[in-house]
């Protein structure tokens, strides 16, 4: 597991869910999508410690626990870390049983609830709700985009290095060819979100489930495939 530089102060760590990292001038960091709980967050903590980086912020792009599940482990280690998400994502992150209820269309059950709790074993609280627009963190500006479709609370984050983190708005080509149909909460909103990307000024894109980051030109091809 390595910290891979994309551009400027923007990095990512490859995995089942790719984790973004922005390094501030004071050697503190923002993480985007920490991933599942378990061994991975411990490995990320080791990477940060080796570089004397202190984690201060976590942004969750949406309310699926393969993206936010590790928040509780990071919070245990970094007591003052600030955890951020959209309002809609906050509802599901803080109440895990809601996810199994809405995908089942009725009352949840012990099997589903226990599976979800095992993947995010401790309660997670969102400290700050973020909305679309400019987000100022530690004297740096990020831009947040509503990318509804995959989930109601999905967002994207653009760093000042023009690197766009899109969560699960898109998946890598290898995953796109593997599955007949993607998990979509709202297809109409998904298409709108895909069309928004073309008007965003970015140079590189990080897709949460992909083997590599891609350029803006490369993104057009995969957006068309998703459509």
The proportion of the chain whose per-residue pLDDT surpasses 70, expressed as a percent, equals 95
Distance between CA atoms of residues 69 and 79, nearest Å:
17
CA 164, CA 130: separation in Å to the nearest integer? 16
Per-residue pLDDT of 159-202, as tens digits, reads: 999 999 999 999 998 888 888 888 889 999 999 999 999 899 99
* Distance in angstroms (rounded) separating the CA atoms of residues 164 and 142: 10
Write out the two tokens for 90.
């906050």
Residues 6+ away with beta carbon under 8 Å from 49: none
Per the CB < 8 A criterion, the answer to whether 71 and 60 are in contact is yes
Domains in the chain (CATH in brackets) are 4-226 (3.60.15.10)
As a whole number of angstroms, the distance between CA 43 and CA 215 comes to 28
**Residue 108 predicted with pLDDT over 80:** no
DSSP state of 64: -
Check if the beta carbon of residue 15 is closer than 8 Å to that of residue 211. Answer: no
CA–CA separation, 89 and 60 (whole Å): 8
Percent pLDDT > 90 in the chain is: 77
pLDDT given for residue 162 in this prediction: 98
Q: Which of 88, 94, 104, 50 is nearest to 72 (CA)?
A: 94
Rounded (10°) angle between helices 87-94 and 97-104: 100
Question: pLDDT tens digits, residue range 54-80?
Answer: 999 999 999 998 999 999 999 999 999
- For residue 121, pLDDT beyond 70: no
């Amino acid at each position: 597991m390595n910290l891979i530089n994309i551009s400027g102060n923007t990095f990512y760590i490859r995995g089942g869910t790719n984790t973004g990292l922005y390094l501030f001038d004071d050697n503190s960091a923002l993480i985007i999508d920490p991933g599942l709980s378990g061994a991975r967050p411990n490995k990320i903590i080791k990477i940060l410690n080796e570089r004397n980086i202190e984690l201060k912020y976590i942004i969750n792009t949406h309310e699926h626990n393969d993206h936010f599940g590790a928040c509780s482990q990071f919070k245990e280690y970094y007591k003052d870390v600030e955890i951020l998400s959209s309002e809609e994502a906050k509802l599901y992150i803080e109440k895990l049983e809601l996810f199994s209820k809405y995908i089942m269309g009725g009352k949840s059950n012990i099997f589903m609830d226990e599976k979800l709790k095992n993947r995010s074993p401790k309660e997670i609280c969102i400290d700050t709700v973020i909305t679309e627009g400019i987000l100022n963190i530690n004297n740096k500006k990020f831009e947040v985009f509503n990318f509804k479709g995959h989930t109601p609370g999905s967002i994207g984050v653009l760093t000042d290095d023009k690197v766009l983190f899109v969560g699960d708005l898109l998946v890598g080509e290898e995953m796109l060819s593997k599955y007949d149909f993607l998990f979509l909460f709202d297809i109409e909103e998904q298409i709108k979100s895909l069309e928004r990307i073309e008007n965003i000024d970015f140079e590189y894109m990080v897709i949460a489930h992909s083997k590599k980051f891609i350029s803006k030109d490369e993104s057009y091809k995969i957006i068309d495939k998703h459509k």
